[in-house]
Amino acid sequence: MKKQIVAMVLVGGRGSRLGNITKQTAKPAVSFGGKYKLIDFVLSSLSNSSISTVGIITQYEPYELLSYIEHGSTWDLDVNEGGISFLTPYTSANGELWQKGTAHSVYQHLRFVDQYNPDFVLILSGDHVYKMDYNLMINEHIKNKADITISTFKVHDNPSRYGILELNELDQVVSFEEKPIAPKSDLASMGIYVFNTKILHQLLETKEEKIYDFGNDIIPLAIKKELSIFGYRFEGYFRDVGTVESLYQANMDLIDNPHYLKIHDYTDFPILTKSSNLPPHHIVHSKKINSSLISDGCLIYGEIHHSILSSGVLVSDQCIIKDSIIHANVKIGKNCHIENAIIVEDSVILANTVLQFDEITVVDNEYLWKMGEQNE
């Protein structure tokens, strides 16, 4: 008998470490790889895993994200039974219910979960870059007779950014520390959890105070209660793009290491995205374009080196763009030089502007206006 699964996708965080990129945009709605948004990766993984009952828990700047997802048809999630439901903060007899953390946000919407009477609840984040068949993890959870399973990956950057786990030879969780100063291992939580529904209820409804977050509170509480907690070792590509540097590097991986994420594997495991009705990109008379991704609707006169351009970008004559990410609908005037930058969508860069940086820098219209005032 097929097990009933409800997925809860957390998209309500502010993403403040991304600076002006998320000033008016929820992090899952941020552009990635030219044609995608970050939310595409979790929704595509759900679609490819045939999990179609999905609650999307929003809070910060939700309009763009909700407008983008709509009823979920892009990801084949517009089904009659289940489908996508948007779960927003609301006012009740107990007052205004604003989310205080990841676990607290799920707790506020347990009624949504309970209407489907699921065997398992899959907790996901909407702002990570990866491709995953969740059924493999759920099958491991069932085989291990686990109460909770945490998906893990080997850290490639600073381990103190993550929740760090120690597993024994059976892959049972021995210890868990959220963002430790001195990590005990290089095995980190992906923020992907499978919970038996009854166990999730028990932990979220505990009488202990300040149970707000899965990493800080719920998992340590589960260990304290000696529940059966296993780690699932994910071997694929995974990036938490919570900082400007990590977002930039994950984008550059598409150019430098296309075998990591395998976005061209669109037969067996496609990354689905909402496409605009734009013409093909047009390279007018540029003589130098290399190691770059250029999306639909771009009009290119200048040079592009090791960069990613989203849709609708204009690069005028005598421009040089190098090691940069240009978001949608950016207009770049003649004779500009851009290097080591992330240009936020709808920015307008006047002719003869030089934006060369030693480290990755986010540029938007506000940045450009201040730059213009200083040059007057």
- Domain boundary assignment for the chain: 5-261, 282-375
List alpha helices for the chain, DSSP H. 39-48, 63-69, 102-107, 110-114, 134-143, 197-204, 219-224, 244-256, 258-261, 365-375
Among 27-36, 116-125, 159-168, 188-197, the range scoring the smallest mean pLDDT is 159-168
Which of the two residues, 81 and 303, has the higher pLDDT score?
303
CA–CA gap between residue 33 and residue 326 (Å, rounded):
10
CA–CA gap between residue 8 and residue 122 (Å, rounded):
6
pLDDT averaged over the chain?
91
pLDDT at 100: 73
CA–CA gap between residue 154 and residue 208 (Å, rounded):
32
pLDDT at 183: 83
Catalogue the E-assigned strands of 53-138.
53-57, 83-87, 90-92, 95-97, 120-125, 128-130
pLDDT of residue 120 exceeding 90, the answer is: yes
What is the separation of C-alpha 115 from the centre of its chain, rounded to a whole number of angstroms? 27
CA angle 357, 358, 362 (to 5 degrees): 45
Which of the two residues, 1 and 180, has the higher pLDDT score?
180
pLDDT at 336: 97
How much is the pTM? Answer: 0.93
Q: Once rounded to an integer, what is the mean pLDDT over residues 187-203?
A: 96
**Structure tokens that stand for 139 in this block:** 């099958």
**Structure tokens that stand for 46 in this block:** 């759900």
Domain 5-261: assigned CATH number: 3.90.550.10
pLDDT at 129: 96
Among 19-28, 65-74, 335-344, 348-357, the range scoring the smallest mean pLDDT is 19-28
To the question of domain 282-375 being in CATH 2.40.10.10, the answer is no
pLDDT of residue 98 exceeding 70, the answer is: no
CA–CA gap between residue 121 and residue 197 (Å, rounded):
6
Q: Once rounded to an integer, what is the mean pLDDT over residues 315-335?
A: 97
CA–CA gap between residue 33 and residue 254 (Å, rounded):
7
pLDDT of residue 372 exceeding 80, the answer is: no
Question: b/e for 108-129, b at 16 or more Cβ within 10 A?
Answer: bbbebbeebebbbbbbbbbbbb
pLDDT band at 264 (very low <50, low <70, confident <90, very high): confident
CA–CA gap between residue 56 and residue 125 (Å, rounded):
10
